[in-house]
Structure 1
């Protein structure tokens, strides 16, 4: 990040606070119950995503290109909730509102990188479904481990570079007034708005990344499903259409869970109370990592079969030990 500062000249001095004050949940009635809920959500998320990752790793039948993206989504969900939830609970439950400057930027980096990768990973899964339904005869050629890994790695490179750039631009800002962040974590938008010098680069980049990471993936996914729907109509029998559509239900559920809460919050942001907005955005951050593994275990036949096989194997091992 020092490269951003050196590029501007050695004589420029930035006023950096020793810490930021994160006050998002302060003043919300009965919020202690919400922290208990967050703890429960975190435990379920860790268990669920670890289970999905373990199933894919242990079962050779799941080592296909599609499940490279599923594995990555579980990893991102696990990393994201681990970066966010324990810190949020520590901040508000134990009154550690003062977050050191560098720690806040690090917190921001991990949270936004994982949130970005969740959206981009849904595009990778959408590509898998699009090829499977529209070009079934070419699926083995167009959806390979190499292609899927290339897509996932390019998304990681973009997300890390974009968030590092955003965090780097924040180090150009001076904070000579308030250091109170009105959010539940070190939110990029809330931080640059506190600056007392020109924050235009951060403003432009922040809005650009919202378009690229939120709206562009959503448009790509919706456009893909328009094409998928057009292909499904051409299938001769209703049974085959339903069978093909069922392969998309897990992905569509993930898309709805991730995008709908964010879109509702953005659309109704003018009429929503600030406390309700903070609760809604925090739920939008922690609920998808909990439901994603549950959806894949319940709606994906391969993972359901692998899960049943794992349970049967464990049961047999326990019976051998006991008898």
Structure 2
């Protein structure tokens, strides 16, 4: 964070409100009452909407999200304001300032989008009352909410990264690292075209295969179950996960200068962490779904209710967004010296830390702590769920039950083995003998190969997917023949 003849800015001083000293306690009580009223009022709205089934309508779906946004929006600034009004030194750390700015932008933008969605809902309800339930279907409402969250995440992240970049700029006669050079894959020049075609084919297979799964699940009502809700999100995650690295890899394989801008590198790192972590959490949700289906078949529909399934998916997205944002903000605060060569084909977090010329202890500590949350805990939960499944099967052994269990869980176990095996071998069990080439190959396994194999694993070994594909093709064939 420091340059030559510069002072490192580790915190900012907040001047606060223009209040006279003798009025400070009065205004403190006033703002405390306003904040408590905001929190309790919005919590009450969310609580009532959740408990009363008559309020489970599009309008109140948007209102509950708006109440949650209001609660968080006020919590971004008010607690810090109240604390500083009683503090002798009203300061905020550098990382805290960037984090506050991110969530301020996030919830302010989210409120804006939700108000638009509510206005559209009222427009349809008043102008098209007979078609209201058809137009404002659950899918459209959930899509509007998800789109609001997604757009605000991207917008707030962009402004925060740009602000972090400004704070990290070098001055004087020091060089500014404006881009990094990606060495890419260890491929001989005469083999480059062959590997280019290979990775292009793998990427297209990944995108088309996972898109096919998403479309089949969307079109076939028999696949509207918890397992396929998680699978559709996993397929979306695989498409995005591979799209974070492979297009840039393909571009750099044909480029004379395989570079990536500083902001682009941090953005790539953010989305790489987001979709890698998201895949980990979704695999846990799928393992829990299989555990309930096999160990508690009679209570499956009660336990795996739509609310629980949507909550698990939403929690996965929220946690991965926060974790990847934290790592990205911590990376943005680091200084990078003259060495800007990344011996990898993407902006890997551990590789970037090796290039930093400032203190990385906080970054390493957070990797250790959050790495356990994202990798170790999910892996142990999956292992525990399948241990219970095997135990349940062995209690009442039957050939039919064994076949059903293995057909249900085999595909998921294959994905888990591929995904966690390479990540644990690369990051959690590092070896001194690991060369850059070996680490790159292992990274290719879980960033390129695993997303590509998932459609084959879930389609070739899944009778439901095969049946859905057959039904849709039959339906299209009948419709086509009727038009002739």
Quick check: TM above 0.5?
Answer: yes
Q: From the superposition, tell whether residues 28 and 167 of structure 1 become closer, same or farther in structure 2 (CA, over 3 Å).
A: farther
Instruction: Name 2:375's counterpart in structure 1.
Output: 214
Which structure has more RCO (C-alpha within 8 Å, separation ≥ 6)?
A: 1
The worse-fitting range, judged by mean Cα deviation, of 37-46 and 24-33 is 24-33
The worse-fitting range, judged by mean Cα deviation, of 13-22 and 184-193 is 13-22
Kindly state the Cα deviation for residue 105 of structure 1 after the two structures are TM-superposed: 0.7
3-state DSSP of counterpart to 1:95:
coil
Q: Distance in 2 between matches of 1:5 and 1:55?
A: 52
Gapped runs of 5+ residues in structure 1?
none
- In the alignment, is residue 241 of structure 1 matched against residue 327 of structure 2? no
Gapped runs of 5+ residues in structure 2?
1-9, 13-92, 98-166, 171-175
Kindly state the Cα deviation for residue 199 of structure 1 after the two structures are TM-superposed: 1.1
Kindly state the Cα deviation for residue 225 of structure 1 after the two structures are TM-superposed: 0.9
Instruction: Name 2:438's counterpart in structure 1.
Output: 276
Instruction: Name 1:87's counterpart in structure 2.
Output: 248
- Residue from 262, 275, 283 that aligns with 1:114: 275
The worse-fitting range, judged by mean Cα deviation, of 270-279 and 139-148 is 270-279
- Residue from 360, 380, 396 that aligns with 1:199: 360
Q: Distance in 2 between matches of 1:37 and 1:143?
A: 41
Q: Distance in 2 between matches of 1:216 and 1:95?
A: 43
The worse-fitting range, judged by mean Cα deviation, of 27-36 and 253-262 is 27-36
Instruction: Name 1:41's counterpart in structure 2.
Output: 202
How many residue pairs get matched? 319
- Residue from 40, 51, 54 that aligns with 2:212: 51
Contact kept, 8 Å, 2:168 with 2:333, in 1: the verdict is: no
3-state DSSP of counterpart to 1:196:
coil
The worse-fitting range, judged by mean Cα deviation, of 42-51 and 169-178 is 169-178
The superposition leaves residues 153-184 of structure 1 with CA deviations (integer Å, 9 ceiling, x where unpaired) of 11111111111111101121111231111211
Kindly state the Cα deviation for residue 104 of structure 1 after the two structures are TM-superposed: 0.9
The superposition leaves residues 218-266 of structure 1 with CA deviations (integer Å, 9 ceiling, x where unpaired) of 1111111111111111124332233233211111111122122333445
Q: Distance in 2 between matches of 1:227 and 1:48?
A: 32
- Residue from 170, 179, 182 that aligns with 1:19: 179
- Residue from 449, 452, 473 that aligns with 1:290: 452
- Residue from 279, 304, 311 that aligns with 1:150: 311
Contact kept, 8 Å, 1:18 with 1:101, in 2: the verdict is: yes
- In the alignment, is residue 311 of structure 1 matched against residue 457 of structure 2? no
Return structure 1 stretches of 4+ with deviation > 6 angstroms: none
- In the alignment, is residue 182 of structure 1 matched against residue 343 of structure 2? yes
TM-score by length of 2: 0.62
TM-score by length of 1: 0.91
3-state DSSP of counterpart to 1:239:
helix
Query: RMSD value over aligned CA atoms?
Result: 2.3
Contact kept, 8 Å, 2:177 with 2:338, in 1: the verdict is: no
Q: Distance in 2 between matches of 1:316 and 1:41?
A: 33
Q: From the superposition, tell whether residues 272 and 58 of structure 1 become closer, same or farther in structure 2 (CA, over 3 Å).
A: same
- In the alignment, is residue 231 of structure 1 matched against residue 392 of structure 2? yes
3-state DSSP of counterpart to 1:20:
strand
Q: Distance in 1 between matches of 2:379 and 2:401?
A: 27
3-state DSSP of counterpart to 1:193:
helix
Contact kept, 8 Å, 2:411 with 2:457, in 1: the verdict is: yes
Contact kept, 8 Å, 1:14 with 1:172, in 2: the verdict is: no
Q: From the superposition, tell whether residues 311 and 192 of structure 1 become closer, same or farther in structure 2 (CA, over 3 Å).
A: same
